C-alpha cells in the first residue's frame, strides 16, 4: 500500500522563507523512513502511514514556535490504486485495522488520550474521503462519532470537521481518523489545514 502526504507551510510573515527553512530540520528524525521531494507548491513525504502525522506535527510546531501566524495544509493519502506499492510505506506497527466500527472508535479514543502534550494550541479542519466504497458515509459517520469523543472536537462545519486544542492530541486525532476509518487496504484521502497563532482566536 502506498501512503504519504503533500505538505505546505504558510507562515504569514515577510520572513516566510526563513520560517520555512528554519522548520525543515524538524523532519530530520524521519528522513531515514521517508522519501522526501520539494517543489514550489509542496513537499511530498512518502513513508509509513502511522508516521505521517507525527512528522507533520513536529514540522508545524517548529514553524509556529516564533509566534508567527502559520498554517500547514496537507493532502494525505493511503491505498491509492493509481500509485505503485512501495516497501517504504510498510506500516511499522501494523496500523491497518479491520475490526468493527465500534472497536475502532474505542481504540482511536484510547490512542488520543495517551498523546503527549506540546504546549502549542492549534485549530484544525479536515475532510476524510474513503474512496471507491459504496459505504463511504458509514465510515465518515463512524469517524465523526470518534471525533466527538476525542476531547479536541470543536464543531462540524460544511464539508469538514473543526478540531481545537493542544497540537499533541489534535495531530493524534487526525492520525487515528486517517488510519482507522475507511477499508484497511482501501483508498483513503484526507484534506487538512492546521492553524496556530491566528489573530482571530485559535
What residues are designated binding site for thiamine?
9, 43
Check residue 51 and give left, alpha or beta (phi > 0: left; psi -120 to 50: alpha).
alpha
Tell me, residue by residue from 25 to 54, as one string, x for binding to a second copy by CB under 8 A and - for no binding. Answer: --------------xxxx-x-x--------
The answer to the question of residue 129 lying near a second copy (CB under 8 A) is yes
The residue within the footprint of a second copy, chosen from 21, 88, 185, 198 (CB under 8 A), is 198
- Do residues 49 and 95 lie in contact, with contact meaning Cβ atoms separated by under 8 Å? yes
The answer to the question of residue 142 lying near a second copy (CB under 8 A) is no
The residue within the footprint of a second copy, chosen from 1, 10, 65, 183 (CB under 8 A), is 10
Q: How far is the CB of 123 from a second copy (least distance, A)?
A: 6
The answer to the question of residue 125 lying near a second copy (CB under 8 A) is yes
Quote the crossing angle between the two packed helices 101-113 and 136-148, to the nearest 10°.
30
Q: How far is the CB of 201 from a second copy (least distance, A)?
A: 5
Spell out the residues 6+ positions from residue 200 whose beta carbon is closer than 8 angstroms to its own: none
- Cα separation of 146 and 105, whole Å? 5
The answer to the question of residue 5 lying near a second copy (CB under 8 A) is yes
- Cα separation of 58 and 24, whole Å? 9
The answer to the question of residue 83 lying near a second copy (CB under 8 A) is yes
Which residues 62-81 are close enough to bind a second copy by CB under 8 A? 69, 71, 73, 75, 77, 80-81
Rg, Å, the chain Cα set: 16
- Cα separation of 162 and 147, whole Å? 9
- Do residues 97 and 154 lie in contact, with contact meaning Cβ atoms separated by under 8 Å? no
Instruction: Give the N- to C-terminal CA distance of the chain in Å, as an integer.
Output: 35
| Contact residues: a second copy, CB under 8 A | 2, 4-6, 8, 10-14, 16-17, 39-42, 44, 46, 69, 71, 73, 75, 77, 80-83, 123-125, 127, 129-134, 136-137, 140, 157-160, 162, 187, 189, 191, 193, 195, 198-202
Amino acid at each position: 500500500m502506498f501512503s504519504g502526504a503533500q505538505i505546505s507551510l504558510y507562515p504569514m510573515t515577510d520572513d516566510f522563507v526563513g520560517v520555512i527553512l528554519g522548520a525543515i530540520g524538524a523532519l530530520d528524525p524521519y528522513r531515514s523512513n521517508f522519501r522526501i521531494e520539494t517543489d514550489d507548491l509542496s513537499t511530498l513525504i512518502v513513508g509509513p502511514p502511522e508516521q505521517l502525522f507525527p512528522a507533520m506535527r513536529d514540522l508545524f510546531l517548529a514553524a509556529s514556535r516564533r509566534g508567527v501566524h502559520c498554517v500547514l495544509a496537507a493532502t494525505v493519502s493511503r491505498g491509492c490504486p493509481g500509485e505503485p506499492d512501495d516497501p517504504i510505506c510498510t506500516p511499522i506497527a501494523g496500523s491497518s485495522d479491520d475490526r468493527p466500527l465500534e472497536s475502532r472508535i474505542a481504540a482511536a479514543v484510547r490512542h488520543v488520550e495517551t498523546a503527549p502534550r506540546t504546549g502549542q494550541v492549534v485549530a484544525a479542519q479536515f475532510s476524510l474521503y474513503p474512496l471507491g466504497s459504496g459505504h463511504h458515509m458509514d465510515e465518515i459517520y463512524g469517524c465523526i462519532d470518534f471525533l466527538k469523543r476525542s476531547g479536541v472536537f470543536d464543531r462540524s462545519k460544511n464539508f469538514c470537521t473543526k478540531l481545537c486544542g493542544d497540537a499533541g492530541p489534535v495531530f493524534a486525532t487526525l492520525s487515528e481518523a486517517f488510519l482507522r476509518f475507511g477499508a484497511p487496504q482501501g483508498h483513503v484521502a484526507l484534506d487538512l489545514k492546521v492553524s496556530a497563532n491566528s489573530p482571530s482566536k485559535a
